[in-house]
Amino acid sequence: MEAQRRAIPALAAGLVWGDRYRIVGQIGRGGMGSVYLAEDLRLNGKLRALKLTCTLTSESEAFIREARILADLQHPNLPDIVDYFPPDESGWAVLVMEYVPGDTLGDVFARSGGRLPYARVLRYLEQLCGLLCYLHGRQPPIVFRDLKPSNVLIDSLDRAVLVDFGIARAYRPEAAADTERLGTPAFAAPEQLRGLQTDARSDLYGWGALAYYLLSGGRSAYQRTGSLRSELQPEVPAGFLDLLDELLSDNPGMRPQNAETLKRRIRELEEGWNRCEADWVHTPKPTEAAHDGVTIAAVLSAYPGAGATFSTLGLSAFLSSRGIAHAVVEFPAGEPELHALLDGARRMPRHAAFADPSGRGPALPAWREAKASLYPANPQGVSPLQPDPAFGEWLRRLGVPLVLLDVSSRWEQGGTAEWLERSGIQSLWWVADSHPAKWTPRRQAAAEAIRERAARNGILSGWIANRDHSFPERSEWLACFPTPPISKLHRVPGECVSRTVWTGEGYPAGKAGLETSGRAFQTWAEEVMGRQGSERVFQTFAKRATMGT
């Protein structure tokens, strides 16, 4: 009997593998191996992904098979293989692949509170169906056998990329059973779990199980207890429910018989839904917060120094404390400030993405702190007067359900107000503090004009009172707001502000910060996400936290 599998070694940053690949850091880990980001020293530091596996003697062939399968494939939804190192005498093997900046579909799903819009799920599923058509059309056909959220990367272009071919196999029609009974029970076809022969229809079951998982709030297909209509999201069309019911049949003969048939069935359903003007093709207004389920809220300073950035970071800290995934993005126009404020020179990971004013750059990898993805403007870059129109779409590709756009006082720059109105954001939040000497009549009139135009476009606007504290003229100050502020954020003592700036903390967590203003931030968060939506989000993340997921 072979010795027990050895633990996967940890590769230190700076180590050079194979005299060519310099390790940057670990970016993934599973039961069978670890994945590292590395720089290709022969190609000017081009980023690669190194999959390190510690194999048993009997698994050496399987590893080489995976490398050869990948090396022979070329498809937009697959990573290219660059190099591989067969198992050495210690059993360590390395597969070197094109680095695909992105998050797993499982991570994207979790950060969205276990609910992605049907249209977005269908887009990923269609891409995977096209890939299955390619794999099953090879000679011999390639059966993937492990379609699950953690094996699907969503890249910076919002493409679904399939990774980890560790248990893929070439279909052998003469075999009565598979050699290995591997797979993930929640997504594997019944015949695979029983050790019987698998074929293209087994992958179609996995496709259906993945669809069920994403549209049921994270349930496994084998946990079905009733009708799909009662178990899946209400916007899923009836025709897709019928198709899914076929895909999840225990009998392979009752499923669509190949991926091309599945692709054709989806296309027919789409044509029918288009003719009926079904919900999934409805184009939402900005207030519906339905751009692929992403809500974008812009935070503006009524005048320089009012505290929009600090307030945004406070709201971010509150959302993280409630387990809600979100992004904080500095509006990439004018002088960059967020990178320095958060001590980015020391704390921002290498290769992490900056806010891209062109809208064409990568959104991943992201600088992540707690539940926040941070995107400061590039302090070394040339900041335009305003971002390109494509920047609005870039914001929706960040893989989070909520984006806080820190505009601060940049709204006074030419063209920024017009950009905000056209970008499809859901809300504008103006911040004014208790030192309003710079709140001039001109700025008040300009802000009111922007608010009125935003209202005509269905964009919600509101006011935040910053640095609230007790002083004789407090009532007079609050009366200056055009509408009553929806939240009053308590003043943070100067020494705490200095400490957070010098440590890059962003916003103090103790009594001086979140503990004192937590209720005010919750009110603001509810308005940003919509009261009904925020209640669902808070409940979902609270439930997931209780379950330990």
Distance CA 182, CA 545 (A): 30
Helix (H), strand (E) at residue 22: strand 21-29
What span, in angstroms and rounded, lies between the C-alpha atoms of 434 and 439?
A: 11
Is residue 231 within 8 Å of 224, Cβ to Cβ?
A: yes
Is the distance from CB of 350 to CB of 424 less than 8 angstroms? no
Q: Which residue has the tokens 């960040």?
A: 398
Amino acid identity at 372: A
Interatomic CA distance for residues 395 and 290, integer angstroms: 13
> What separation, in Å, do the N-terminal and C-terminal C-alpha atoms of the chain show?
36
Look at residues 334, 299, 302 and name the one whose alpha carbon lies nearest to residue 314.
Answer: 299
Amino acid at 343: D
Nearest to 208 by CA among 281, 135, 259, 153: 259
Question: What token pair was written down for 272?
Answer: 């029918």
Q: How far apart (Å, rounded) are the C-alpha atoms in residues 29 and 33?
A: 6
296 pairs with which residues across the strands? 403
Cβ burial of 57 (10 Å; 0-12, 13-18, 19+) is: exposed
51 marked ligand binding residue: yes
Nearest to 50 by CA among 38, 59, 66, 39: 38
- Whether the CB-CB separation of 311 and 431 falls below 8 Å is answered with yes
484-490: Cβ within 8 A, 24+ apart: 486/462, 486/523, 486/524, 486/527, 487/520, 487/521, 487/523, 487/524, 487/527, 488/464, 488/520, 489/311, 489/314, 489/464, 489/465, 489/517, 489/520, 489/521, 490/516, 490/517, 490/520
Based on the residue annotation, tell me whether 356 is a catalytic residue of this protein. no
Which residue among the candidates 146, 158, 164, 406 is catalytic per the annotation? 146
Q: How far is the C-alpha of 249 from the C-alpha of 208, rounded, in Å?
A: 10
- Mapped onto helix, strand or coil, the DSSP state of residue 127 is helix
Would you list which residues are annotated within the binding site?
51
Active site residues: 146
**Residues annotated as binding site for ATP?**
51
